[in-house]
Amino acid sequence: MSLSPIKLEILQSMLLSDKPQKAMEIAKDAHREFQPVMMHLLGLQRMGYVSSPEKGLYIISSAGKKVLGIPEITKEKATAILAYAPHDKSFHFYATVGKPLSMHAHNLRDFVGKIDKADIISVEFHFKRGDFESWFKGLGDEELAKKTALLKQRNVVGEELRKQLREMTHKRYHELAELTGQVFPEDEHNNHLAPHGGHTHIHA
C-alpha cells in the first residue's frame, strides 16, 4: 500500500526515535503541525503501521518498518549482522580522503566503542559521505543504515552527532544481541570491545 508523503515522513521520524512518543513529540520531530500529525497517526494506527502500547503513546510497528523498506530481523539474521567481520570488510576510520587513522571496527559491537574515541573530524567526514550507512548495509543491517541516512537529513554535527550515533548504534547492538540470546557482561564504556587486526580499508 502506497502512503502519502506526510505519512512516510511521520513513520521515518518515529523510526529514528524508536521508542513510544506522544503525538506532540512526533509532530515536533517531523516539523509538522500537531493536528494533521494526530490525524495521520490515527490513520497509520488503523493501517497497522503504528501501534499504541499505552494511551497517548505511539510507536512504529514491524509493518510500519516494512513499508519503509526494512525487513524483519530473524535470530539468524541478527547473528550474521553481529558477526566478526574479516579485515577486508571492517570499517577503517579516516581523517579525510587518503589519510587513514589507526582505528577500525570489525563488527557493530566494536563500532560502538570506536565511534566514542574517533576524532570528531573523522566522524563528520564519514557521516557526510554516507560511509557509516554503507557499512551498516554491508553488514546486512538495513534498519541501522536507514536510521543513519535519516539522521543525516537532520543536519546534526559535532559532539551531538557523535552522541546520537553512539546511542543509536549502542541500542541497536543490544537489540540484536538480545535477539540472538547474548548476555552483556561488559559496560558500554568498556574499552576491550573487540580484538584488533591488520589494516583494512573502506571506500576512501
18 pLDDT band (50/70/90 cuts)? confident
Residue 196 lies in a domain: no
- Within 13 Å, how many C-alpha atoms sit on residue 152's CB side? 18
Residues 59/19, Cβ–Cβ less than 8 Å: yes
CB atoms within 10 A of CB 77: 17
The distance of Cα 4 from the centroid of its chain, to the nearest Å, equals: 24
* Mean pLDDT, residues 153-160 taken together: 92
pLDDT score recorded for residue 19:
87
Cell matching residue 5: 508523503
Q: Which distant-in-sequence residues (6+ apart) come within 8 Å of 137 by Cβ?
A: 145
Residue numbers of the domain that contains 132: 75-180
CA distances (Å), origin 66, targets 1, 63, 136, 171: 11, 5, 18, 20
pLDDT score recorded for residue 83:
94
Task: Tell whether the model's pLDDT for residue 26 goes beyond 80.
Answer: yes
SS3 of residue 55 by DSSP: coil
Question: Which CATH number is 36's domain given?
Answer: 1.10.10.10
CA distances (Å), origin 13, targets 6, 164, 181: 10, 14, 29
Mean pLDDT of the chain: 88
Are residues 93 and 30 both part of a single domain?
no
Cell matching residue 170: 549502542
Task: Read off the DSSP letter of residue 3.
Answer: -
Residue 41 lies in a domain: yes
* Mean pLDDT, residues 150-173 taken together: 94
pLDDT score recorded for residue 189:
44
User: How does pLDDT run across 174-197, given as a tens digit for each residue?
Assistant: 999 999 987 655 544 444 444 433
DSSP string, 142-175: HHHHHHHHHHHTTT--HHHHHHHHHHHHHHHHHH
* Mean pLDDT, residues 37-54 taken together: 96
* Mean pLDDT, residues 42-46 taken together: 96
Are residues 82 and 51 both part of a single domain?
no
Task: Tell whether the model's pLDDT for residue 198 goes beyond 70.
Answer: no
pLDDT score recorded for residue 121:
96
Rg (CA), the chain: 18
pLDDT score recorded for residue 184:
58
Task: Tell whether the model's pLDDT for residue 64 goes beyond 80.
Answer: yes
Are residues 81 and 169 both part of a single domain?
yes
For the chain, what is the domain count? 2
pLDDT score recorded for residue 141:
96
